[in-house]
Amino acid sequence: MSILDEVRSGKEDIVEYAEECMQKAKGIDREYRYFTAIAEESAIGQAREIKKNFQKYRGKRLLGVMVSAKDAICVKGVESCAGSRILKGYRPLFDATVIERVKREGGIVIGKTSQDEFGFGSFSVNVGLGFPIPLNPFDRGRSCGGSSGGAAGLARKADFPHIALGESTGGSIAAPSSFCGVFGLTPTYGKVSRYGLIDYGNSLDKIGSIGKSVEEVALLQGTIEGHDPKDSTSLSHPHEGYKELKRNVKGMRIGVIKEAFSDAVEKDVQKGVRSGIARLEEEGAVVEEVSLEFPIRYSLATYYLLAMSESSTNLARYCGMRYGQAGELKGNFNEYFSEVRSKHFGEEAKRRIILGTFARMSGFRDAYYIKAAKVRTLIIRHYRKAFGKYDALASPSTPLLPPKFTDIEKLTPLQHYMIDVPVVGPNLAGLPHLNVPVGMEKGLPVGMLLIGDHLQERKLLEMGMVFDGE
């Protein structure tokens, strides 16, 4: 009987168990810097509540499971900064809907995990001023991936029952999951409520699950999804639950995206992903090459124009008056706002605010923002056409193995953005996608991306089960 089984049966005291897990979490954080806030007091309080009302929680989906939340997801009474100094000290008076659902099912929220500031990055090196950069669980001199780097790193290193809540705008679940060798599911846009999420881009943000196994990912995903009247973008659809998943891909048609294996993708990554595709074929999947030139070519520019425009709008509220850090009241409003924002935003946040504001300015809006929105519609059509023939599409999750921090420092901003080429397309289209660990190259993990049609998360999870436990 596992420790989790003993907790769920009442043989193991859940408070003592939670205290032990928190000590382990703090030990991991000292070495790898995965947390922005460790919610020890809150977590032990939840454990006491469960112990006091144990019969109420007996049989709940997440009973005894430790759950971490990306820093952009609000947790009542726990500092929630979205990785930015401008929100330092903010302690929400409410739980995000996903946190409410986790707690209702007996999950214990242990803290907030590290991320790029407001999600602005692919390597988790664009953390806010004063925040530590999380370290790769396989090599502390390398990146965890971003922006949900702390979530994926903790999912890999935790030696206690744990699942992480991540968030993706343009690949921020798939990329870190690939770099950390874990499963990461980004659901269909609107399938999980965004209420209580500190926004990056409203039309792009999606909360998802990261874990060591498909079973863990499915467990958390089945808990958090479902319609929420507090979120206007929330879909009304039957609650899936993901029970009785079957490892059966026989007869499923998988399209291998031809353009995703260009010379820009490292040979070691191509080798690992090709081996993963071969495994699916051995299990009975029908594999064919498919061209998706239009999404691969135009998704990156389209994504950054739309995402930066939306983030520029969202971050305008952090001006030191109603929201964000306050400054000394002097000069006119523009001088005051500029001083507060200059002092507390990091370099990448400033860059995206300026670019996004430019793209949506009068005189430039039609040339950039509106045109990008039209191209996004065309990208969705290309994916939908492909799903008329295939059950899933396959590609690398990232074009490279986890890079060293010393190598990342040499990259230009554009080179930073280019890592997102494999993942921005499905994020623009609101499609579900799953990072699947397909092996190791040079001692570092390789991730394969499986992309499904809207609301087809079950198919992706069942394909992922081929690689579970390896």
3-state SS, 292-344, equals: CHHHHHHHHHHHHHHHHHHHHHHHCCECCCCECCCCCCCCCHHHHHHHHHHHH
Instruction: Give me the number of domains the chain comprises.
Output: 1
Among 42, 124, 172, 395, the active-site one is 172
Catalytic option among 42, 68, 70, 212: 70
pLDDT of res. 470:
65
Rounded Cα–Cα distance for residues 326 and 74 (Å):
21
pLDDT attached to residue 224: 98
Helices (H), 231-292: 267-282
Q: Are 253 and 281 in contact (CB under 8 A)?
A: no
Residue 94 backbone dihedrals phi, psi, to 5 degrees? -150, 165
172 is catalytic: yes
Q: Give the C-alpha separation, 271 to 372, whole Å.
A: 34
Residue 329: the pLDDT is: 85
Q: Which among 147, 177, 311, 312 is annotated as catalytic?
A: 147
Q: Which ranges of 10-162 does DSSP label H, i.e. alpha helix?
A: 14-32, 40-52, 54-57, 97-104, 149-157
Euclidean distance between CA atoms 427 and 188, whole angstroms: 9
| Residues whose CB falls within 8 Å of the CB of residue 361, separated by 6 or more in sequence, listed in order | none
Structure tokens at 283: 């299990």
Backbone angles phi, psi at 325, to 5 degrees: -60, 145
Give the integer Cα–Cα distance in Å for 202 and 237. 20
CB neighbour list of residue 333: distance below 8 Å, 6 or more residues apart: none
Q: Which amino acid is at 345?
A: F
- The per-residue b/e assignment along 179-193, b for 16 or more CB within 10 angstroms, e otherwise, is bbbbbbbbbbbbbbb
Indicate if 147 belongs to the active site. yes
Cβ proximity of 101 and 144 under 8 Å: no
Task: State the maximum Cα–Cα separation within the chain, in Å, rounded to a whole number.
Answer: 70
Strand partners, 186: 433
> What DSSP designation does 131 have?
P
Per-residue pLDDT for the chain (470 aa), expressed as one digit of tens each?
A: 699 999 999 999 999 999 999 999 999 999 999 999 999 999 999 999 999 999 999 999 999 999 999 999 999 999 999 999 999 999 999 999 999 999 999 999 999 999 999 999 999 999 999 999 999 999 999 999 999 999 999 999 999 999 999 999 999 999 999 999 999 999 999 999 999 999 999 999 999 999 999 999 999 999 999 999 999 999 998 888 898 899 989 999 999 999 999 999 999 999 999 999 999 999 999 999 999 999 999 999 999 999 999 999 999 999 998 899 999 888 898 899 999 999 999 999 999 999 999 999 988 999 999 999 999 999 999 999 999 999 999 999 999 999 999 999 999 999 999 999 999 999 999 999 999 999 999 999 999 999 999 999 999 999 999 999 76
Domain that holds residue 405: 1-470
CATH number for position 50? 3.90.1300.10
User: How many Å apart are CA 331 and CA 329, to the nearest integer?
Assistant: 7
Tokens 């949506």 -> residue:
360
* Of residues 310, 92, 364, the one with CA closest to residue 200: 310
Has 371 been annotated as catalytic?
Answer: no
CA distances from 412 to 73, 348, 408 (A): 29, 12, 9
- pLDDT for position 1: 61
Distance from C-alpha of 345 to C-alpha of 80, rounded to nearest angstrom: 16
Q: Whole-model pTM above 0.95?
A: yes
